[in-house]
Amino acid sequence: MAEKSEKLSTEPARGGSLPRSLGLWAAVAIVVSNVIGSGIFTTSGFLARDLGNPSLLLGAWVLGGILALAGALTYGELGARIPKAGGEYVFLREGFGPLPAFLTGWASFWVGFSAPIAAAAIAFVEHLSFFYPSLAIEAGSETASNWLERIGPGHFVAISAIVVMALIHRRTAQVGARFHVGVTFIKVALISILIVGGLTIGRGEMAHFQASAPIDWDMAFPGLAVGLIFVMFSFSGWNAAAYIGEELRDPQRTLPLSLFLGTIIVSVIYLGLNAVYLYAMPLEEMKGVLRIGEMATERLFPSTAAPFLNVLFMATILGAVSAMTIAGPRVYFAMARDRLFPAPVARIHPRYQTPSTAILLQALWASILVLSGTFAQLVTFSTVVLLVFTGWTVISLFVLRRRTPDFDGYRTWGYPFTPILFLLITGWSVIYTLLNRPQESFIGLGICALGVPGFFAFRAFGRRPAS
């Protein structure tokens, strides 16, 4: 019982509540754009290498969609029970107390959101350099002898993209939502054109879907185990709507439905894109190819592929940056409101009614990462940490169900099998990552462990009387 008394109150300690101004499609757009990034355009070549069969390749993406859907259905109940800003932070706070909640927020700030935003901004500029070659970042990095020489105009364009996105979403949530829905619509429309056009007028062959030999399960099963890591990476972000639960109208209905619809839309798009890849080339030619999306499109539309592809990738990346700019600051805002982050981060803009300080703080750190050149390593370090906290969050549903069995809102379909399925695969992924990438994994866990003294420092400071 002593442990329970240590639990922070769910009432705001600083700042107020964010207005409930967002609807279903804004939440769906956040899920879709947060998931669809560079992963789907780069991972299928490795899956082709590890699986060696067209049916297994498509089956791996179906399985990935099922697992993401299991997580989304579970998070839907957590969000319906606790419709607050912060996602995993508030779920773990209610399930296991303030320390695990703080650690997931700590990891989110230093690694989980800011580093992918920095990486995505640089990727955006790399595709923009197709039209404006002087902006290329990687070319300048290869010839630079020191850190200062590596900085070029492309870095400042990347930072400008981050800042502009932050300023847009610092405005009212409705303004940011309209912009984000528009970006997501363009993104999905371009991908749909690629899928439909590729399968109807592209220069491909249906014969590529047929396997050249029967499935060798002795080789295929371990290949699927390895390949599923790439699939889960590409599906990461299915939980994005949970971060804005406090701003959704009718969250007990809207949040679970947005997670479900967003995950279904992404799963259909992913299957369609992989069908395009197989239609464009035989599986043997896909094996080990990193830029599989670019290669497939060039095969289907050899004379017009490059400009279209770069616009497609730019829209995809911009949507992902927009989604992370919305989701991440809600975590830091919730932490500061609980006195576990600097007090100004909990401030709500008096006019726009958004967590503007948290949004600008994330943009600042992401901009520093763009200049530092360490963001790619930080993203790698984050893999095992994010899997651990996602699994831990799903476990909190069992705790909350035991505490409040009479909850009459949305309940997870297929409980307890749905969350158990998700936990089994997530646990396997963590173990696999620890065994095969121990250095990156333990560095990521080390970054997380540094949050322990930070937690006690913030809690001690937060208990001081206000001046």
3-state helix/strand/coil string of the chain: CHHHHCCCCCCCCCCCCCCCCECHHHHHHHHHHHHCCCHHHCCHHHHHHHHCCHHHHHHHHHHHHHHHHHHHHHHHHHHHHCCCECCHHHHHHHHHCHHHHHHHHHHHHHHHHHHHHHHHHHHHHHHHCCCCHHHCCHHHHHHCCCHHHHCCHHHHHHHHHHHHHHHHHHCCHHHHHHHHHHHHHHHHHHHHHHHHHHHHCCCCCHHHHCCCCCCCHHHHHHHHHHHHHHHHHHHCCCCHHHHEHHHECCHHHHHHHHHHHHHHHHHHHHHHHHHHHHHHCCHHHHCCCCCHHHHHHHHHCCCCHHHHHHHHHHHHHHHHHHHHHHHHHHHHHHHHHCCCCCHHHHCCCCCCCCCHHHHHHHHHHHHHHHHHCCHHHHHHHHHHHHHHHHHHHHHHHHHHHHHCCCCCCCCCCCCCHHHHHHHHHHHHHHHHHHHHCHHHHHHHHHHHHCHHHHHHHHHHHHCCCCC
At 358 the pLDDT is 95
The pLDDT assigned to 381 comes to: 57
Q: Supply the pLDDT for residue 32.
A: 92
Task: Indicate the pTM of the whole model.
Answer: 0.82
Rounded CA gap, 20 and 30, in Å? Answer: 16
The domains found in the chain, sorted by start residue, are 23-405+412-459 (1.20.1740.10)
Specify whether the backbone of 221 is left (phi greater than 0), alpha (psi in -120 to 50) or beta: alpha
List residues bridging with 248 in a β-sheet: 22
| pLDDT of the chain, 467 residues: tens digit per residue | 333 433 433 344 345 778 888 899 989 999 998 888 767 887 888 888 878 888 888 998 998 899 899 999 999 999 999 999 888 999 999 999 999 999 999 988 887 888 888 888 888 888 888 888 888 775 444 444 555 666 778 889 999 999 999 999 998 778 888 888 888 888 899 899 999 999 998 888 898 888 776 776 666 666 676 677 778 778 888 888 899 888 898 988 999 999 999 999 999 999 999 999 999 999 888 887 767 888 888 888 877 777 887 888 888 888 888 889 999 999 999 999 988 999 899 999 888 889 999 999 999 999 988 887 544 455 555 667 777 888 999 999 999 999 988 888 899 999 999 999 999 988 877 787 677 667 767 777 787 888 899 898 888 876 544 43
